[in-house]
Amino acid sequence: MNLSYPLFDIPFVGIYLIVLAFLFGTVFASFITCTAWRVVRGEDWMLGHSHCDTCGHELSTADLFPVISYIALKGKCRYCGSKVPPRDLIFEIILGIVFAGTLALHGVVDAAVISALALEMLLLGLSLADWDSGVIPNGFLAAILVVWIMSAGFRPDISRFAIEGLFASLAVGLLMAVATAIIGKINKTKMNYGPTKLAMCLMLFLGFKGSVIAVAAAIVLGIIFVLACKSKKRKISLAPAISIGFVIAFIAKDVLALLSVAV
Ligand SMILES: [Zn+2]
């Protein structure tokens, strides 16, 4: 089944959908940062109520509007007046921009772009969880696999998508597993295979060319993150590097396609 809608056939509709994508990005960022926070703390991520971290007061719906609540309350808790760190606000705006940019560059509303938006949301959540706890929760990886299975069903090129994805996933997974084992042997430490599992899940979506771009970007970003973690003497977390590498690879494909049309 192939469902696709060219974004700029009617320019007004295209701009409307891009603005909508930004708003969805802020809402989903608000949801996923909260989910990641609860998963890391072992709270119920579906049924739990959001509360102020200082006074513990349960937050009402009016306190939970992404971006707007933060600005309206001037970054303070309505109940105890303590300062709320701007981290969530920053990630809401970032995911809004990433959603709008992904859609605008892709130029078509189709299964590929919808699965990319779902992935970008999950990547934000698991990156935050990894940054806070040093562990990539398996629940996020399972959700990525669900997105892959669902999006494959809507692709016109399902067999090529599946076969290229599986090969890329196995190749990158094998390389990373061997590299991780060697580093573990040299340092005589127990290694965390979370980053390997994450990379394997993401390569399923990219195929050969995309995987090469993602791996190259993730290696450069990975080195930056390792140095940053070491300088702050904190647990090394690689999920943000792998996630940003993936988003770069996904967007790069669309940028290259746009350039080849322009030339
Ligand atoms: Zn409070």
- What's the 76 CA to ligand 1 centre distance in angstroms? 8
Rounded distance, CA 183 to CA 195, Å?
14
Q: What is the pLDDT of residue 119?
A: 94
First vs last Cα of the chain: how many Å apart?
Answer: 31
pTM, entire model:
0.90
Q: What is the pLDDT of residue 52?
A: 86
Q: What is the pLDDT of residue 263?
A: 55
- What's the 58 CA to ligand 1 centre distance in angstroms? 9
Parse the chain into domains and list their residue ranges: 1-136, 157-263
Q: Which parts of the chain sit beneath pLDDT 70?
A: 1-3, 261-263
- What's the 235 CA to ligand 1 centre distance in angstroms? 29
Rounded distance, CA 197 to CA 181, Å?
14
* Cα-based distances in Å from 262 to 13, 18, 121, 248, 257: 23, 21, 30, 20, 9
Rounded distance, CA 174 to CA 144, Å?
19
Q: What is the pLDDT of residue 199?
A: 95
What residues does the ion ligand 1 have nearby, CB within 5 Å?
52, 54-55, 77, 79-80
DSSP bridge pairs for 51: 58
Q: What is the pLDDT of residue 49?
A: 77
Rounded distance, CA 241 to CA 220, Å?
8
Q: How far is CA 109 from the centre of its chain?
A: 19
Q: What is the pLDDT of residue 79?
A: 92
Side chain identity at 104, as an amino acid letter? A
Q: What DSSP string runs through 245-258?
A: HHHHHHHHHHHHHH
Q: What is the pLDDT of residue 252?
A: 85
Q: What is the pLDDT of residue 54?
A: 87
